[in-house]
Amino acid sequence: MELITTVTLGVITAVVIGVVQVAKQMGLPTKFAPLVAVLFGVIAAIGLSFFQATFAVIITGVIIGLSACGLYSGVKTTVAK
């Protein structure tokens, strides 16, 4: 996990946001979007760590997913005002 930089985590977060938006447009109920974001975040983190699912990698994936769904809702609320 040492090879993952802040820039990489930012890019992954943006990709997770995009994947969740596509899933919502395909019919995913909005209430399941955070769960899907965390799931894709964990999958991405495990993939980046060359499939070594350690505790730190899984927590990193959860943080990516939570950042993705929180970032989207924060921007949506700010733009709506």
User: Can you give the pLDDT at residue 77?
Assistant: 59
Contact by Cβ (8 Å): 45, 81: no
User: Can you give the pLDDT at residue 15?
Assistant: 94
User: Can you give the pLDDT at residue 8?
Assistant: 85
User: Can you give the pLDDT at residue 25?
Assistant: 95
The domains of the chain are located at: 6-80
Distance (Å, rounded) from C-alpha 6 to C-alpha 22?
25
Instruction: Give the type of residue at 24.
Output: K
Q: pLDDT tens per residue, the chain (81 residues)? A: 455 677 888 899 999 999 999 999 999 998 899 899 999 999 999 998 888 888 988 999 999 998 888 866 666 656 666
User: Can you give the pLDDT at residue 79?
Assistant: 66
Contact by Cβ (8 Å): 45, 57: yes
pTM here? 0.77
